[in-house]
Structure 1
Amino acid sequence: MEKSLLNLLREGGWILYVRHGEATVGEDQPYIHFQNCYTQRNLSELGRRQAIYYGDMIRYLRIPIRLPIQASPFCRTIETAQLAFGCVPVQIHPFWFEVYQLDKNSLRKEQTFNTLRSILEMKPPKGTNQVIIAHGFPDNIGLGQISNMGTVIVRPLGIGKGYEVLKKLSLEDLAALVSSP
């Protein structure tokens, strides 16, 4: 199964929804200023190493990535994208802040899920995979909880046709693809 998963990823057409690397302990301040990283949790040293390792594995596995990488406006997601993929364009997508707020703001859940569905329905160009670096979801909501640098592999079915979750991989699961024969 794992070998066929790798072949599918190499063919492209998938969305790789990735949770950022491990962040520092604490909480984001109530009035986050996205251009001021001191108002939010940031990557820990382990989180930085996780992001670099993730990018190294994607390159080693020869998984084609569509540019720009999409990221939430938080410093930790932008830094994850930069560490994982180097000097490539990163498109900041403010919608991913809505995902971050899902467990705090139940009034916007339906609208958030409608937008999420429309984003995950969009097929990337043939031969590439779209990477989105954002946040985990509350348990049993959306794509569910995601470990640090975990990846949800999503198959977009086209606008208005929905999407399917193929597999959820932890960072260790991705590493196992590297070491499999």
Structure 2
Amino acid sequence: MNLKKIAFTACCFMLSVCALASDLSEKLQSPDYVLLIRHTLAPGVGDPTGYTLEDCKTQRNLSAEGRQQAVVVGQWLRKQGVTTADVHSSAWCRCKDTAELLHFSGFKVAPALASFFDEMHLAKARTQALEQFIAERVKTKGNKALILVTHHVNIHAFMGENIASGDMVLAKVDAQGKMTSYQVIPRPNATQR
């Protein structure tokens, strides 16, 4: 490959990165989009028997790698131009820790983001609650990004696709909070921040 082709390829890559950054932050400033994040790496499946939401030591929690992943996701979002956010989290410690490590101006726990892994029969009701929550929040968030940190089961029920720990879903929603389209954004790694 000659130098002109290398320079052209690098220029095109930089333009596409800048376009994504501008596009993501602009979309998240509108009331039509929400960003869902699956909590970052917490090895295992489900929670230990007898866990309680009040005691993080009884739950499946973020690993050191998962904690670093959350920091990188937050840094990547700011690099994309997302500087202010209305962040909400499930009550599970792995979600709260992910939300905190994004390093926006705090977060609030939202019951609509609670896992139903142990009660899969609640999937439809929880998805309706999530849609209602989104519909209410997009009306009042102003130009802040609406970021929701939740669980695999919640995101799968909402969008119908499996995503990995720390992956994001940019969801376009209607006035009722129902998803009309989406884009999966893979979790950035440390070299992308």
Question: TM-score interval w.r.t. the shorter chain?
Answer: 0.7 to 0.9
Cα pair 1:120 1:154 within 8 Å, conserved: no
Structure 1 residues 171 and 161: CA distance shift in structure 2, 3 A:
closer
Cα pair 1:121 1:163 within 8 Å, conserved: no
Partner in structure 2 of residue 119 of structure 1: 133
What are the equivalent positions in structure 2 for 1:67-146 lying under 5 Å apart? 67=86, 69-85=87-103, 88-97=105-114, 100-102=115-117, 104-122=118-136, 123=138, 125-137=141-153, 141-143=157-159, 144-146=161-163
Cα pair 1:138 1:145 within 8 Å, conserved: no
Partner in structure 2 of residue 10 of structure 1: 25
Residue 53 of structure 1 pairs with residue 72 of structure 2: yes
User: Equivalent pairs: percent with the same residue?
Assistant: 19
* Structure 2: runs of 5+ lacking an equivalent: 1-15
Structure 1 residues 34 and 115: CA distance shift in structure 2, 3 A:
same
Task: Count residues with an aligned counterpart.
Answer: 171
Cα pair 1:20 1:133 within 8 Å, conserved: yes
Structure 1 residues 74 and 49: CA distance shift in structure 2, 3 A:
same
* Higher normalized helix content (fraction of residues): 2
TM-score (ref. length: structure 2): 0.75
Residue 38 of structure 1 pairs with residue 38 of structure 2: no
Moved segments of 4+, more than 4 Å = 1-5
* Structure 1: runs of 5+ lacking an equivalent: none
User: Matched residues in 2 for 1:89 and 1:16: separation?
Assistant: 16
Q: How many Å apart are 1:27 and its aligned residue?
A: 4.2
TM-score (ref. length: structure 1): 0.79
